[in-house]
A and B are shown apart, each in its own frame.
Chain A
Amino acid sequence: MTARPALARTWNEGARDRARRMERAASRLEGRLLGKVVAAADIVALLESVIAPGDRVCLEGNNQKQADFLAHALTRVDPRVVNDLHMVQSVLALPEHLDVFESGIATRLDFSFSGPQAGRLAKLVGDGRIAIGAIHTYLELFGRYFVDLTPRVSLVAAQAADREGNLYTGPNTEDTPVIAEATAFKGGIVIAQVNEIVERVPRVDIPGDWIGYVVQSPQPHFIEPLFTRDPAQISEIQVLMAMMAIKGIYAEYGVQRLNHGIGFDTAAIELLLPTFAESLGLRGRICKHWALNPHPALIPAIEAGFVETVHSFGSELGMEDYIAARSDVFFTGPDGSLRSNRAFCQTAGHYACDMFIGSTLQIDLGGNSSTATLGRISGFGGAPNMGSDARGRRHASPAWLKAGTEAADAARGVMPRGRKLVVQMVETFREHMQPAFVERLDAWTLAESARMALPPVMIYGDDVTHILTEEGIANLLLCRSDEERAQAIRGVAGYTQVGLARDHQMVERLRARGVIRRAEDLGIDKRMATRDLLAARSIKDLVRASGGLYKPPQQFRNW
């Protein structure tokens, strides 16, 4: 007996299917298809030709850049022709991203972040219109694009294309490379909306042979200046917390490579580098290398010589000229504009940074933190990648080793190992007297009501190393038991119920051991915590610091 091949199995069905879909498009659009270029008026016909029921579809929704023309077109396909789609996209930002679920065009969803649409998403899940596979971190979702969530059709956005389909993304490259690669090399079809079709693109961000179709959008794609924070809104408490962060953590560990979460808390730190940190002699000793979007609050620190390099997930509106003029700091192409890349920057933040510091909405006594609140499914974005110990990391740095030594001393570990610094920075009460510290995270109730497999925890307590509030810093690395850990958290939880229920004697013992450190323990005079310490106190100050290169979007101009 000789082995015989199995009967009639074809091994290139994906490629054949792609060819059939493209033939279908060519015949429906008749003579109107000019190579890869599709007229805007034909976009719905194109989508109906190349998308089949049940397909996995990636609609490029980034943090900033949005494939909005294609998103709108997808809502206009005939649900009798295109339905039951499985959407696999990082961000749900536009109303159209959910409209497709209301009409039955799509039914399943795997995603990372849904900030602006979180309330409506929770409602659609509650009504049974959306089946969520899982909520991912960015890297996790991108990873699954290459394993079991590979898109069949992807709808992406770029600044410009040539007639060969070569794409120029401009500064907001963001997710486009990872989406296009996963789709194009697995028998899928990539459709790009562009602001203009040109003879020659300024640089090739996505090679033309990865792209199936290009359509010029009637309007330039939408970009949101999501990361701009007006220094005018930074409070004195945020200044105080920033002083404690710089003196009690950045200087203490010599943090040179880091990521900042988005918000006024971290903007305050950036704006204290040229003033407070400079007065402590920290220039050149901290904050040299960043995984960070190029947001304007960093301008004074760059100009003061603190910052050596910045790699970015996406860009930020208004920063184009400043970035082009500071190519030693930012990653830029031959055309002068930023080349961002969410997948690579998330990797950098996870493996190559020694610290993540960011805000959250709720922290429990285990140090678990969550931004989930009832009636809102907001997702994670990149925070869990930034804000977790990189267990696969092997290279040493002084900050990483010091944190690892503290953890090992507390646990009496035998094998030396470093630790990433993961700092949660919160004022004990948010606006409307909402406590940041709780006995039980709202995430539990949300998980029950939305029938999730797990409570949506953004950063797990065993990854958090420090909790910083206006009351002080709790160093969780030094805690020797769960009870110490809980009391260390209570000890900085202020007048919240969690804070009021502290064991005062134990908290004082933890303070004596340096597990808890107050402003006065750090030699910080609270009366110094005024807005005068900010290197810029308004958007106009940032423009001035940039030498006029920063061009703030209209909504931030108040002069």
Chain B
Amino acid sequence: MERLEYRFTGGRVLHPLAARLVGVVGSGNLEVLIESAALDGGCTVEINTAAEGFGAIWNAVVADFFARHSLGDVRISINDNGATPAIVSLRLDQAAEEFTGTVPGSATAL
């Protein structure tokens, strides 16, 4: 297992929201946990992956995710279970949308 961690700053800080878990728990499917955390306005993404040596790809995937959603004081944990970048991006978007109750580009909630 490889553990990768990325940190982004400058996102919009949300009031604490209920944590969300997206993916089918215990099914071997990809899981994404998204939760509020006091991170000085930062956003961290932690990826646990069985496939080693793909740090640059995951960096690009989560940087694009941050550009789309721009979240602050949020911690995201991904257990990739061998998922491809396409499915990880899709799940991250679903997690962010469920967490904030919004779709990127639509009116900001809260």
Contact = CB atoms under 8 A, between A and B. Distances in A.
Answer yes or no: are A and B bound together in one complex: yes
Contacts of A527: 93-94, 97, 103
Contacts, number: 45
Nearest to A471: B86
Interface string B58-74: 00110000000000000
A433 B2 CA distance: 14
Interface string A310-337: 0000000000000000000000000000
Contact of B90 (A236, A431, A495): A236
A149 interface: no
Interface string A235-255: 111001000000000000000
B86 A433 contact: no
Interface string B40-73: 0000000000010010110011000000000000
Given A495-B61, A500-B60, A527-B94, A237 B82 contact: no
Given A495-B57, A495-B60, A500-B60, A429 B94 contact: no
Interface string B85-101: 11100100110010000
A494 interface: yes
Contacts of A427: 84, 86
A431 B50 CA distance: 12
B85 A240 contact: no
A85 B64 CA distance: 59
Interface in A54-81: none
A470 interface: yes
Contacts of A495: 57, 60-61, 85
B51 A237 contact: no
B56, B85, B87, B97 pick with most chain A CB within 10 angstroms: B85
A470 B94 CA distance: 16
A529 interface: yes
Contacts of A529: 90
Contacts of B57: 433, 495, 500
A427 B87 CA distance: 10
A494 B86 contact: yes
A526 interface: yes
A427 B85 CA distance: 10
Contacts of B51: 432-433
**Interface residues on chain A, size class:** 20 to 34
Contacts of B84: 237, 427-431, 433
Interface residues of B, number: 16
Q: Summarize B's interface: helix, strand, loop or mixed.
A: helix
Given A432-B51, A433-B57, A235 B87 contact: yes
Interface string A426-446: 011111110000000000000
B103 to A, nearest CB: 8
B85 A236 contact: no
A264 B29 CA distance: 18
Nearest to A525: B103
Contacts of B97: 527
A240 B90 contact: yes
Contacts of A469: 86
Given A237-B87, A427-B84, A427-B86, A433 B94 contact: no
Contacts of A433: 51, 54, 57, 84
Contacts of B54: 433
Contacts of A526: 90, 93
Given A236-B87, A500-B60, A432 B93 contact: no
A237 B60 contact: no
A2 to B, nearest CB: 80
Nearest to B88: A495
Nearest to A427: B86
B94 A431 contact: no
Contacts of B60: 495, 500
A235 B27 CA distance: 14
A470 B86 contact: yes
Given A240-B90, A495-B61, A526-B90, A431 B82 contact: yes
B49 to A, nearest CB: 9
A402 B49 CA distance: 45
Determine which residue in B56, B61, B86, B103 has the highest number of CB atoms from chain A within 10 A of its CB, and name it. Answer: B86
Contact of B86 (A429, A432, A500): A429
Nearest to B87: A237
A527 B91 CA distance: 10
A529 B89 CA distance: 13
Interface in A505-559: 526-527, 529
A30 to B, nearest CB: 63
Contacts of A235: 87
A470 B87 CA distance: 9
Contacts of B93: 526-527
A470 B83 CA distance: 14
Interface string A338-349: 000000000000
Contacts of B86: 237, 427-429, 469-471, 494
A45 B94 CA distance: 67
Contacts of A432: 51, 82
Nearest to B93: A526
Nearest to A429: B84
A429 B83 CA distance: 9
A170 B93 CA distance: 51
Nearest to A434: B84
A265 to B, nearest CB: 12
5 contacts: A429-B86, A433-B51, A494-B86, A495-B61, A527-B93
Given A495-B61, A500-B57, 9 more contacts: A240-B90, A429-B84, A430-B84, A433-B57, A470-B90, A471-B86, A494-B85, A495-B85, A500-B60
Q: What are the 3 closest A-B residue pairs judged by CB atoms, nearest first?
A: A470-B86, A429-B84, A495-B85
Interface of A: 235-237, 240, 427-433, 469-471, 494-495, 500, 526-527, 529
